[in-house]
Structure 1
């Protein structure tokens, strides 16, 4: 499992941009930037849609004022679903990135197997990444939403 002071693993995440799926190399995505990344078990799911993502949407300006270059939401969904969810949630100031096959989530060691979502999904977490290195990591206990919210990240910045 990824830990504080660890370098983020190399991998690919996808984004739907102008009708095309764009592959992002995570090494480049995190290089020379301060990034807040959070993950949810699934797009359009209750806690994710009512509390987790909206908190970051509302706090985007405050996060960027604290020196954050990018705010990334990741889920084990496809790029089309992530784009539709981002649009429905007014998340235009966030990068809505897909880990369609869960390979990046597996590389982080943050998977969970859940029948409710049909198999392997991401645990709920948030982290601050500074130039590719994890400086803060907040992993939720199963079925909880207490430490991966935007307020926690704002306080850690």
Structure 2
């Protein structure tokens, strides 16, 4: 089995000589989420930032990404303290990264980028999390979507310390 364009030693395998070798197609272009390994909250404590970075590894732009998160019981997003909205944070290989401060909510929260995501570009969704008095540890789950790429799941463990 060879990847397209892979260099060989110059000697064909038996499968290649017989014309039965399998050529593995390149991996599909994708959205790649980058999330923290976990988040630690204290009930009644100050809000804690949860950044979720989404990178377009494809060679073409995608529609403005949307991130939908489901929060554990008692955990809420209190807004972004938003001085980030729409400002570039950094450049990756020439593509400007977007930063989006995500608004408040409980249960299921949705945050959408303001513009399409260029090839090689990234967007950072910033949530500020607060644990209510009856919060318990759990997992934040969610999905990133941006046409025409396949949706991608995200998960972030949440550890709650009672105050």
Q: TM-score, normalised by structure 1?
A: 0.30
The structure in which a higher percent of residues are strand is: 2
Q: TM-score, normalised by structure 2?
A: 0.29
